[in-house]
Amino acid sequence: MLSESGCLQATPARRHTIVQDHESTSRSLLTRARANDAAAWDRLVSLYAPFVSYWCRRCNAREQDVADIFQEVFRAVAANLARFQKKDAGHTFRGWLRVITRNKVYDHYRKSTREPRAIGGTEVQIQLSQIPTPQADLEETDADRAAGAGLFHRALGQVRDRFEPRTWEAFWRTAVDGLPAGDVAEDLSMSPGAVRVAKSRVLQRLREELGELIE
């Protein structure tokens, strides 16, 4: 799991603007993952692993079971990734993964009730009853929004080393911090036009690499 310590926080409004700026235009990462590209698969898992762990806990999975459910979720993703299609704006990879996670949490505990030597059958039944209903599972919480911010920062972290420090700084200050290009240009000894080009280059890279995945 990638660390997010030391990352600057974008405001919700600014973060929403950035996400809108790089709406899906490329499926390169998903395409490579579907083709069993190990590097692409590792990147996909690193982006979404914290989400899966969070959703497991939100579904009241026991801490000692989260790792097993996590493995079950990504096995299902690997087996079914070729079938995932982004049909419209509301149909996202993140939403698809969330449904898989919830189903695997339920399957994990339902399977426990069928095991001949299952221990704590009553406890498992209680666990099943505590899994949120689909409607409740769709309600966004502060923790959901924080998890979304984490995804945003992990996505940026995956492309950061492809840019020179000053290019990245120009992008970050304008796109994330929301500072005027003129102010940033003065601080970095760049022209305002160069600052805008730097921002555009980073956003374009995000479109090419991760556009379909960053909802």
pLDDT along the chain (215 residues), means of 10: 37 42 49 87 89 86 89 93 74 85 87 55 52 50 66 80 93 93 95 94 81 57
**Left if phi > 0, otherwise alpha if psi is -120 to 50, otherwise beta: which for 115?**
beta
Pick the CATH number of 12-210 from 1.10.1740.10, 1.25.60.10, 3.55.40.20, 2.60.40.10: 1.10.1740.10
Q: Judge whether 26 and 211 are in contact, CB under 8 Å.
A: yes
Place of tokens 């979720």: 73
Say what the alpha-carbon torsion angle 69, 70, 72, 74 is, to the nearest 10 degrees.
Answer: 160
Burial 77-93 (b: 16+ CB within 10 A, else e): beeebeebebeeeeebb
Q: Phi/psi of residue 105, each to 5°?
A: -60, -50
Please give the pLDDT value at position 88: 65
Please give the pLDDT value at position 7: 36
What are the domain boundaries of the chain?
Answer: 12-210
Please give the pLDDT value at position 141: 65
Please give the pLDDT value at position 23: 34
Residues 14, 144: Cα–Cα separation, whole Å = 17
In which element (H, E) is residue 50 found? Answer: helix 38-58
Q: What is the CA radius of gyration of the chain?
A: 20
Please give the pLDDT value at position 9: 42
Task: Return the amino acid letter for 34.
Answer: R
Residues 214, 158: Cα–Cα separation, whole Å = 13
Q: Judge whether 17 and 34 are in contact, CB under 8 Å.
A: no
Supply the pTM of this predicted model.
0.63
